[in-house]
């Protein structure tokens, strides 16, 4: 059976060079980076070279990068420490954030009494910047937590604009860039972002490793205790091979960015054309001309009763995509992201998220269309 992977917003295939780099580190640098003997020093050296490489690629200081086990941990760390250690009393976020932010702020609202304000989402799934400014103008000790690229619909936040608004109103700015790091250039020397979060497995690196960028002189405190690793900000023996793999993956993604971005953008255009040709009533959550180049959320003109079987049938035919709705106890619940801005009628239509990488081709899209036509 043919196998087609179109679920790259969930995770990505590792690059061969990344696997080679990780294998080399596992073979040659097994020491504990905290040990003072040369085995330890060699492993520590791998970590520090990786940190420098990542910092160079996003234009910040190496000391501003803290390695974590994943994007979720980095988001939790920044949000919790901002409330506990920076005196943040209010968080402005949105209903379309990843649960790594959304569920976290909901818990801290209960635990610490932090006020949570949700900025309006417009009909195309983008953030209402006027509403953000209105909220910011009620000056309180605020952390703004808004994601760069949305993982379900691909809407893109204007980082420069939000960072500037936060500066104007003395708010901290945290952005979850898990879906955009390695797929676009971010220059932290130009944009006054305070905190940023990334995860290696979204840019052809390994799972189980990510990082937090914390702007110099912002005094966060750790959530994991019991060791002095990462300048005391994240206890626990570092995953040396994963960190080296992440640095390699970021380096390669940015080296190949322009070529891969162009190819993937063409694939997305081709999918839109083919869908419109074969299913004239198709439409999209978010404007596909404006959303990020590697993701598209398709609302299919199929009957509601096809929702629960759609992903299963695609999978039976070897096609991997994601659904924007979660099946819970037999009933289909729309995703929290789509619920934030789609009409009731649109929410009742079957919906799939297709997300590309440079490993995809037009044949993959032809095959997806072929299978969809049979459903
Ligand atoms: N934030 C966003 C936007 C994501 O898409 C994801 C993963 O799907 C995460 C955070 C969580 O990252 P990780 O899998 O590294 O915990």
Q: How far is CA 374 from CA 298, 362, 366, 369, in A?
A: 17, 19, 13, 9
Residue of 11, 12, 72 to test ligand 1 pocket, by largest number of atoms within 8 Å of CB: 72
The pLDDT of residue 304 is 83
Active-site annotation holds for 327: yes
Q: Is the pTM of this model over 0.95?
A: yes
Sequence-ordered list of residues with C-beta below 8 angstroms from that of 218, at least 6 positions apart, any chain:
86, 172, 194, 195
Buried b vs exposed e over 267-290: b needs ≥16 C-beta within 10 Å? bbeebbebbeeebeebebbbebee
**Where in the chain is CATH 3.40.640.10?**
16-255
Contact 201, 11 (CB under 8 A): yes
All residue ranges of the chain with pLDDT < 70 are 324-332
Residue 137 neighbours by CB distance under 10 Å:
10
How far, in Å, is the centroid of ligand 1 from the Cα of 199? 7
Give yes or no for a contact between 270 and 77, defined as CB atoms under 8 angstroms apart: no
Using an 8 Å Cβ cutoff, are 234 and 66 in contact?
Answer: yes
Q: Coil, helix or strand for 174?
A: strand
- Strand pairing of 90-93 and 115-118? parallel
The sheet that has 295-299: what strands, in order across it?
Answer: 283-284, 295-299, 351-355, 322-323
Q: Are 139 and 169 in contact (CB under 8 A)?
A: yes
The pLDDT assigned to 305 comes to 83
- In the chain, residues under CATH classification 3.90.1150.10 are 4-12+257-374
Cβ distance 143 to 136 under 8 Å? no
Cβ of 71 less than 6 Å from ligand 1 = yes
Ligand 1 pocket check for 210: Cβ under 6 Å: yes
Q: Whose CA is nearest to atom 13 of ligand 1?
A: 71
Long-range contacts of 30-35 (CB under 8 A, 24+ apart): 32/237, 33/229, 33/237, 33/238, 33/240, 34/227, 34/228, 34/229, 34/237
Take atom 7 of ligand 1 and give the residue whose Cα is closest: 10
319 lines ligand 1 (CB under 6 A): no
Output the six-digit token pair for 223: 């959530």
Residues 6+ apart with CB under 8 A from 184: 257, 261
Whole-number pLDDT of residue 75:
98
Nearest residue (CA) to ligand 1, atom 6: 178
Which CATH code, of 2.30.30.170, 3.90.1150.10, 3.40.228.10, 3.40.50.2000, is assigned to 4-12+257-374?
Answer: 3.90.1150.10
- Determine the distance separating the centroid of ligand 1 and the alpha carbon of 127, expressed in angstroms: 19
For the stretch 120-169, pLDDT in tens is 999 999 999 999 999 999 979 999 999 999 999 999 999 999 999 999 99
Tokens 């504990």 -> residue: 32
Give the per-residue pLDDT at 93: 98
How many residues in the chain?
A: 375
**Active-site pick, 60, 70, 166, 327:** 327
Q: Measured from the CA of 151, which atom of ligand 1 is nearest?
A: 5
Whole-number pLDDT of residue 328: 47
**How much distance in Å is there from the Cα of 71 to the middle of ligand 1?**
5
How would DSSP label each residue in 198-231? EEGGGGTS-SS-EEEEE-TT-----SS-S--TGG
Q: What's the gap in Å between 211 CA and the centre of ligand 1? A: 12
Q: How far is residue 265's CA from residue 358's CA, in Å, rounded to a whole number?
A: 10
Helix (H, G, I), strand (E, B) or coil at 170: coil
Q: Which pLDDT tens digit goes with each residue over 226-268?
A: 999 999 999 999 999 999 999 999 999 999 999 999 999 999 9
Q: Are 368 and 4 in contact (CB under 8 A)?
A: yes
Are residues 323 and 315 in contact, defined by beta-carbon separation less than 8 angstroms? no
> Following DSSP, what letter does each residue of 240-308 receive, concatenated?
HHHHHHHHHHHHHHHHTHHHHHHHHHHHHHHHHHHHHHH-TT-EESS-TTTS-TTEEEEE--S-GGGHH
Q: Is 70 in the pocket of ligand 1 (CB under 6 A)?
A: yes
Selected from 3.30.460.20, 3.40.640.10, 3.20.20.70, 3.60.10.10, the CATH number assigned to the domain covering 16-255 reads: 3.40.640.10
Separation CA 155–CA 167 (nearest Å): 23
């Amino acid at each position: 059976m043919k196998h087609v992977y179109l679920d790259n917003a969930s995770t990505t295939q590792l690059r061969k060079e990344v696997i080679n780099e990780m294998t080399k580190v596992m073979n040659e640098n097994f020491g504990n980076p905290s040990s003072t003997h040369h085995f330890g020093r060699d492993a520590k050296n791998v970590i520090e070279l990786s940190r420098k490489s990542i910092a160079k690629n996003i234009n910040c200081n190496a000391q501003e990068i803290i390695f974590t086990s994943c994007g979720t941990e980095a988001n939790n760390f920044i949000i919790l420490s901002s409330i506990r250690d920076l005196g943040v009393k209010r968080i402005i976020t949105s209903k379309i954030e990843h649960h790594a932010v959304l569920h976290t702020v909901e818990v801290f609202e209960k635990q610490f009494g932090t006020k949570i304000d949700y900025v309006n989402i417009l009909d195309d799934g983008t953030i209402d910047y006027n509403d953000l400014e209105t909220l910011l103008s009620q000056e309180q000790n605020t952390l703004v937590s808004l994601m760069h690229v949305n993982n379900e619909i691909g809407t893109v936040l204007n980082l420069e604009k939000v960072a500037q608004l936060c500066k104007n109103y003395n708010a901290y700015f945290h952005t979850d860039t898990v879906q955009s790091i390695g797929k676009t250039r971010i220059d932290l020397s130009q944009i006054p972002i305070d905190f940023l979060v990334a995860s290696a497995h979204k840019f052809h690196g390994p799972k189980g490793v990510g990082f937090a960028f914390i702007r110099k002189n912002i005094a966060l405190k750790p959530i994991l205790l019991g060791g002095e690793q990462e300048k005391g900000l994240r206890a626990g023996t570092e995953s040396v091979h994963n960190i080296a793999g992440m640095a390699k993956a970021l380096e390669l993604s940015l080296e190949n960015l322009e070529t891969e971005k162009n190819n993937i953008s063409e694939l997305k255009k081709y999918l839109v054309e083919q869908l419109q040709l074969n299913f004239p009533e198709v439409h999209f959550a978010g404007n596909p001309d404006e959303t990020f180049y590697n993701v598209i959320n398709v609302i299919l003109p199929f009957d509601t009763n096809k929702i629960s079987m759609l992903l299963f049938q695609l999978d039976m035919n070897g096609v991997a995509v994601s659904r924007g709705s979660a099946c819970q106890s037999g009933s289909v619940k729309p995703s929290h992201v789509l619920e934030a801005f789609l009409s009731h009628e649109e929410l009742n239509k079957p919906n799939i998220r297709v997300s590309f990488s440079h490993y995809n081709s037009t044949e993959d899209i032809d095959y997806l269309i072929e299978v969809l036509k049979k459903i």
